[in-house]
Structure 1
Amino acid sequence: MTVVVGVGAGRGVTAPAVLGLIEETLREAGLAASEVGELATVDAKAGEAGIVEAAARLGVPLRTYPARELALVAVPHPSAAVLAEAGTPSVAEAAALAGGGELLVPKRKSGEGRVTCAVARRRLLNVGHGYIAGETPEC
């Protein structure tokens, strides 16, 4: 299984804080770090060192989405505070779901609340001779 971990974080968050929440969340869901295909977040966090370093340590790409695109993703736990700060009612859940798929772990917050993450199963595409993880083509 390939999963996407959506990540939200406050400014200046450290990679150990991001990785700690991701690892705890995966472990509690019965998932391995090797199943993570990418980290995803909002464009405004593309240069956030803790998130960038966490993706590098996991050996996965960091994919970012515009806030306006994430705002269109239906999520179970929207937040007015996140909307005011980031321009979208969800970062972690929406980023995890943005490429399509099923939410496996809804938004979780770190103990101090500076990091959030959510996990989604990546949708598989039938390519004729098997399946690959990826986005569905635009119709």
Structure 2
Amino acid sequence: MTQPADGPSTPLEDSIPACGAQHTPRGRGPGLPADSGDHRRPDEFADPALVVGLGFRPGTRAEQIVHAVESVVGDTAAISCLATIDRRATEPGIEAAAGTFGIPVIGFSAAQLAETDAPYRSPLTAQFVGTPNVAEAAALLAGSGELVCGRTVVDGVVVAVATAAGRPN
């Protein structure tokens, strides 16, 4: 189930939409065509220069990550990379998910993520991983653009989407 992030919001966070309509990714449902289900407006992710930031627990399966990403950006959006905290960047789940999309994984240190001006800030996340935000900060760092989809939680995977610099959406 896709749901907006819980927790306190800031004025900046309120200006960034949580994204992601439920859909059947790449026609993987029994007897369903590839384009069945709700989709975001096609113009929302028209720019192929999207980066996806992810936050997830250790041991998260590739299928969960792929489902979460496709639930947020759809199954036709071009993604240039997946980005996360460095300690998760080499996990089998994210590496396999990146392989499914044919893109690289980029990892950032907790210090790099903590220095990023991301809208959502969680004291609990800061306590456990050393940065108050992973998904949004990773998307912003990898894309060097602007956040177009704020922190969205899909089945335990946190997803955020940013544009690459020079390619506003």
C-alpha distance after superposition, 1:77-117 (max 9, x if no partner):
11111111111111100000013101010011123x2x111
1:25 equivalent to 2:67? Answer: no
Partner of 2:163: 121
The whole-number CA distance in structure 2 between the counterparts of 1:17 and 1:46 is 15
Q: Tell me which residue corresponds to 2:149.
A: 105
**Runs of 4 or more above 2 Å deviation:** none
Write out aligned runs for 1:41-60 (5 A): 41-60=84-103
Name the amino acid aligned to 2:158.
T
Larger Rg: 2
Matched residue, 2:137: 94
Alignment TM-score, normalising by the size of structure 2: 0.67
- Structure 2 residue identity aligned to 1:9: F
- Work out whether residues 62 and 96 of structure 2, in 8 Å CA contact, stay in contact via their aligned partners in 1: yes
- Structure 1 unaligned runs (5+)? 126-139
% identity of equivalent residues: 36
Separation in structure 2 between the aligned mates of residue 86 and residue 14 of structure 1, nearest angstrom: 20
- Relative to its length, the structure with more strand (as a share) is 1
Counterpart for residue 118 of structure 2: 75
Q: Which moved more, 1:75-84 or 1:86-95?
A: 75-84
Q: Secondary structure at the match of 1:102?
A: strand
- Unpaired runs of 5+ residues, structure 2, are 1-46
